[in-house]
């Protein structure tokens, strides 16, 4: 069964810290992996997409890595800010244009 | 470029009533997805369309849920009759051509069944 797991479920850090969110998937034959941000009561905002042939993607203070062989991805957030507080979701697709299989998310709180 | 549009944003109904949600994808996007997100969980696919044809509806409770995408653009998702466990956020997403097939999500419709 294809499953995605995110650890931890919740994380609270002081402003300015660097932090890592973890995502693991059971079937390593992925097509791509996306990281999303979800603010309370809102939809999903795509942060980064990593193709199966790539090892990492960067956007501003965000860096996502992919290790297919171990079935893991990490989202690194540098110099965290209170505005980064949100739920972060990891999702994988197993074929081109196929459905996304989501983890349950990590709820991040950055304290001023 | 306009994003994925959904309406209504919120809906409260009683169990056994019917409800419909509407989605307008990003212009030119051939693939449209409906996901259900229950509180505290990640979204799960209900149905996927490629133009106006169904690609995957294996997780759609077909005894009460239906969806259509006429003319390959807008889509509607209907629930009839609703149950308490249908309370969730219903998210619509779309993706276009190209190798990335990145999915873009709308703001969602929050449904409460009482």
Name the nearest CA neighbour of B29 among B1, B7, B8, B10.
B1
Residue B1, pLDDT score: 65
Q: What is the Cα–Cα distance from B110 to A43, expressed in whole angstroms?
A: 10
Cβ-proximal residues to B98 (8 Å cutoff; 6+ apart), any chain = none
Residue window 58-97, chain A: list those with CB within 8 Å of chain B: 89, 91, 93, 96-97
Considering only CB atoms, B42 lies closest to which of A42, A96, A103, namely A103
For every one of its 114 residues, what pLDDT tens digit does chain B have, with 9 covering 90 and above?
689 999 999 999 999 999 999 999 999 999 999 999 999 899 999 999 998 899 999 999 999 999 999 888 999 999 999 999 999 999 999 998 776 778 999 999 999 999
Q: What is the Cα–Cα distance from B19 to B101, expressed in whole angstroms?
A: 30
Q: What is the Cα–Cα distance from B70 to B67, expressed in whole angstroms?
A: 10
pLDDT tier, A96 (very low <50, low <70, confident <90, very high otherwise):
confident
The predicted-structure confidence for B12-27, as pLDDT tens digits, reads as follows 999 999 999 999 999 9
């Amino acid at each position: 069964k294809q499953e995605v797991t995110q650890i931890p479920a919740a994380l609270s850090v002081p402003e300015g810290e660097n932090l890592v969110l973890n995502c693991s998937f059971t079937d390593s034959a992925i097509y791509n992996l996306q990281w999303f941000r979800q603010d309370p009561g809102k939809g999903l905002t795509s942060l980064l997409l990593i193709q199966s042939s790539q090892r990492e993607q960067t956007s501003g203070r965000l860096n996502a890595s992919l290790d297919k062989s171990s079935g893991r991805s990490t989202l690194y957030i540098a110099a965290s800010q209170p505005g980064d507080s949100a739920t972060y979701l990891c999702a994988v697709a197993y074929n081109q244009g196929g459905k996304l299989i989501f983890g349950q998310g990590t709820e991040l709180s950055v304290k001023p | 470029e306009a994003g994925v549009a959904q309406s209504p944003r919120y809906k409260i109904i009683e169990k056994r009533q019917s409800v419909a949600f509407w989605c307008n994808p990003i212009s030119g996007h051939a693939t449209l997805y409906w996901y259900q997100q229950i509180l505290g969980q990640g979204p799960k696919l209900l149905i996927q369309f490629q133009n106006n044809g169904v690609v995957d509806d294996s997780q759609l409770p077909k005894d009460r849920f239906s969806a259509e995408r006429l003319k390959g653009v807008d889509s509607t998702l209907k629930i009839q009759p609703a149950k308490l466990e249908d309370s969730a956020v219903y998210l619509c997403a779309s993706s276009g051509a190209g190798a990335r097939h990145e999915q873009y999500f709308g703001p969602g419709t929050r449904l409460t069944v009482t």
